[in-house]
Structure 1
Amino acid sequence: MPPVLLVVDDDPSVLLLVDVLAEKLGFRVKAVTSGLHALEHLRDGFRPDVILLDIMMERIDGLTFLSHLREMDIASVPVIAMSTATVLERYGGQLDVAGTLIKPITQQTLASALAPYCAPAEDEHP
């Protein structure tokens, strides 16, 4: 079964890019446009293997989302924070995350960030 990635970003172009690239890496992707939507899915029982979270969003930013996530029974789900280098530097000390991803995202940077969570490749030759 492929690993499940929850992507939280208010920019539809980022969601589309991550969706396409992460599926190529073998992930099943659930993309949502706000921290509120992500929290609703999580409260309803959705359980991703990893969360890719934009830090700068409207209404609920990444820091607030992380605070709510840590209060839930799934606080152990690894979170990768994504934003510009400047934002990640500014908030880095406040982020309790498994990793970071600097925007703009490329196939290589996304693959590196998600590598620890990829399903092991199946051996084609027994």
Structure 2
Amino acid sequence: MNAPALQHILYVEDDADIRTIARLALEAVGGYTLKVCASGQEALDAVSAGYRPDLILLDVMMPELDGPGTLSGLRKLAQTMETPAVFMTAKVQAAEIAFYKSLGAIGVLAKPFDPMQLAGQVRGLWEGRE
């Protein structure tokens, strides 16, 4: 049985410049459809309003509601209870990566990222999930 194709990504990032670059990289290069949110609360609101992503991409360090807090909130909603999640962060020491995975992330992408490689990295994590 083939796994469903990755199409819809919920992307949560507070930095406007990074949001723009990642959106271009994932939509233009990867062909994905993105729902882009500038905060964890905005992401929770979008999912509560009915958005159902195939994958969640989360910045770790955000004001008010950080990435781990956002993921915790998303896990309480039926639409995203089991949706694969990936953290994007500059904090990529082994212990930090282990922590993110302990929260249920399928992977971690290091910032700064290469816009030309981002879609392929996301696809690789999606295809490699269990």
* Paired AA for residue 55 in structure 2: V
Two-structure CA RMSD over aligned residues (Å): 2.2
1:75 matched to 2:81? The reply is: yes
1:113 matched to 2:121? The reply is: yes
**Deviation of the 1:91 alpha carbon:** 6.0
Residue in structure 1 matched with residue 69 of structure 2 by the alignment: 64
Distance 1:12 1:70, change over 3 A: same
- Distance in 2 (CA, whole Å) between partners of 1:91 and 1:22 is 23
Deviations 1:97-121 (A, max 9, x none): 0111100011354123311448xxx
**Deviation of the 1:66 alpha carbon:** 1.3
- Distance in 2 (CA, whole Å) between partners of 1:29 and 1:87 is 28
- Distance in 2 (CA, whole Å) between partners of 1:6 and 1:47 is 8
CA contact (8 A) 1:99 1:113 kept: no
TM-score using structure 1 length: 0.82
Please give the residue correspondences for 1:41-60 in structure 2 after superposition, counting only pairs within 5 Å: 41-60=46-65
* Paired AA for residue 61 in structure 1: D
Deviates more, 1:34-43 or 1:64-73: 64-73
Runs of 4+ residues over 6 Å off in structure 1: none
1:13 matched to 2:21? The reply is: no
Q: Unaligned regions of 5+ residues in structure 2, if any? A: none
Count of matched residue positions in the alignment of Structure 1 and Structure 2: 118
Structure of greater Rg: 1
Residue in structure 1 matched with residue 109 of structure 2 by the alignment: 101
- Distance in 2 (CA, whole Å) between partners of 1:63 and 1:91 is 12
Name the % identity: 31
- Aligned to 1:52, the other structure's residue is in SS state strand
- Aligned to 1:39, the other structure's residue is in SS state helix
